[in-house]
Structure 1
Amino acid sequence: MKPQSMLFTIYGEYVRHYGSEIWIGSLTKLMGEFGLSEPAVRAAISRMLRQGWLESRKVGNRSYYSVSERGKKRLEEAAARIYKVETGVWDGKWCIASYNIPEERRALRDQLRKELGWMGFGMLTTSTWISPNNLADHVKELTEAYEITEHVEIFMAEHFGWSDPKQLVQKCWNIEEINEKYKGFIEAYRPQYEEMAESLRQNREVADSYCFVEKTKLVHEYRKFLFIDPDLPQELLPEVWLGKEADQLFQDYYTMLNPGAVRFFETVYEAAPQK
């Protein structure tokens, strides 16, 4: 469990709902619930500061860390995909991003590929990426932020040949591998969910700290699908698709754990002084 990745989960799931700022003491205590040491947490925070995800301020001898505007945007995008609502009928159009970035800007090119993958694009050719979702505005913002607009073209287009849409999906994404990942998630979390449900039916006491740890781990694991699942419309999914079952399991278990998790967070969290 990487400290920086867990920090994203803590900020996205809790801190952003409480003003997006937290005292370092509260943060290290929360992270300590997962066996992460204070030096490891501080090192991860330093990296996130350098990368522009967090901002810091001192009040007396206390340090507070808040999510930057860039960080807020990323967390909001992630939340919209984790807690997604059912989409309508696919219009048959593909969003296409094509780029030709010079070799001397290779680092930016590699970063663009990572960002496109995170958004849900699949690689059709080395420099042409496609998505069945309208992500044109997101790509525009990204290319403007990286100052590479002169090297990128964005299209919304229909596909006339030669692969059929599902074959196109197979070319751009490893659907079988994603399905296997969902299968692993279901196999790992179904027994935990059923055990928790039974505890609640039997009116057994479940510690709030347990709910906090288990809910945070649940979100942390499910968040990984943002990096591999392109969120395809129903029309493009295979006949056997475990994403729906995994999503329902996630929602049900999350709902069960959330009240206790929030109560525990509130006992540890200290509101930052007004700026």
Structure 2
Amino acid sequence: MQARSALFDLYGDYLRPRGGRAPVAALVKLLAPLGIAAPAVRTAVSRMVRQGWLHPLRLGSGPGYLLTPKAARRLDEASARIYRTGRSGWDGRFDLVLLGAPLPRREAQRLAFLGYGMLDDRAWVAPRAAEEVDAVLTGTGVTYERFSAGHAAGSPGAAHVVGRAWNLEEIGKAYEEFVAAQRPAVTAITARSSDEEAYAARFQLVHAWRSFLFRDPQLPASLLPPRWPGVGAASFFDRHAARLRPAADRFVERCLASASRNGRVGFSDT
């Protein structure tokens, strides 16, 4: 797990609900159980400041970092999707985006995050419209048109569109691999496990699940194959993320309190 990616997960899952700020010492403590060393944390923090995701500030316990408004919005969007694992209905129409030129890689990833699949390098489609698309595309300078599209009589149908835009076999296999990879770690956490162990297992679980934000467009059930592996994977994630949350929260609170307490002592002694 890379330090920068872990920091996004840490702020989004634990620090955003606590005001979106933390002292540097707490960030180091909270990423240590994941095998991320202090120098890597500090390097990643500096990079995130340069990119406009974090803002340095002086806390009572010493130097710390606060989420910028841009980062807070992005993390709120991600959190809403991470913990909303049910499939919504569908009105039978796609949101179709036709581009005047191929998108740069960063914006293409952003469209994928919003649930759009690529029919070709100048055509993207989603089962429902996302409000953020216009803002993403306007910033690129690429001309585009958007349509709400259904199917004409005799056309191949929705399954054909879905098959072109997304590799459901690959996504389904990824869900099966997610459960197989995460099951040993999360089921090993019992009432006898430490809060730190629960926190580390839950952090890895959420980190692995977050990758599906870019892979799974959250298609409605009517567009999915029978016995879709994503349903079982979502149930597995919901169950264990909720079960491990209390212990993980206790560990986070202890790390924040310890960093604050030690920081105040160190500050007053200088």
TM over 0.5: yes
1:14 partner SS? helix
Q: Distance in 2 between matches of 1:159 and 1:5?
A: 40
CA distance in 2, matches of 1:189, 1:247: 12
Could you say if the C-alpha distance between residues 181 and 86 of structure 1 is closer, same or farther in structure 2, counting changes exceeding 3 Å? closer
Match of 1:83 in 2: 83
Residue in structure 2 matched with residue 40 of structure 1 by the alignment = 40
TM-score (norm 2): 0.89
- Corresponding residue for residue 193 of structure 2: 206
Provide the alpha-carbon RMSD of the alignment. Answer: 2.2
Letter of the structure 2 residue corresponding to residue 29 of structure 1? K
Partner of 1:266: 253
How many pairs align? 259
Q: Map Cα deviations across residues 109-160 of structure 1 (whole Å, 9 max, x no partner).
A: 332211111211100121110000221x11023234x263x61222222232
1:120 corresponds, among 109, 115, 136, to 115
How far apart are 1:230 and its partner, in Å? Answer: 0.8
Q: Who is 1:256 aligned against?
A: 243
- Residue 153 (1) aligns with residue 145 (2): yes
> Structure 1 stretches of 5 or more lacking a match?
none
State the secondary structure of the residue aligned to 2:57: strand
Q: Say which SS state the counterpart of residue 171 (structure 2) adopts.
A: helix
Deviations 1:52-88 (A, max 9, x none): 1111123478221111111111111111111115344
Q: Distance in 1 between matches of 2:88 and 2:164?
A: 24
Residues 43-54 of structure 1 aligned to structure 2 (within 5 Å)? 43-54=43-54
Matches for 1:14-33 after TM superposition, within 5 Å: 14-33=14-33
8 A Cα contact 2:22 2:65, kept in partner:
yes
Alpha-carbon distance in 2 for matches of 1:230, 1:119: 8
Which residue, out of 136, 139, 160, partners 2:133?
A: 139
Give TM-score scaled by structure 1 length: 0.87
Match of 1:215 in 2: 202
Match of 1:182 in 2: 175
Residues in 2 aligned to 1:81 and 1:147: alpha-carbon distance in whole angstroms: 25
Letter matched to residue 165 of structure 2? C
Are residue 172 (structure 1) and residue 159 (structure 2) matched? no
Unaligned runs of 5+ in 2: 261-270
Distance 2:214 2:88 in 1: 23
1:51 positional shift: 1.5
For residues 53-68 of structure 1, the aligned pairs below 5 Å read: 53-59=53-59, 62-68=62-68
Contact 1:94–1:159 (8 Å) recurs in 2: no
Structure 1 residues 240 and 64: alpha-carbon distance in aligned structure 2, compared to 1, 3 A threshold: same
Identity of aligned pairs, percent?
35
2:104 aligned counterpart, secondary structure: helix
User: Which residue type is aligned with residue 8 of structure 2?
Assistant: F
| Corresponding residue for residue 13 of structure 1 | 13
Pair 230,127 (structure 1): closer, same or farther in 2 beyond 3 Å: same
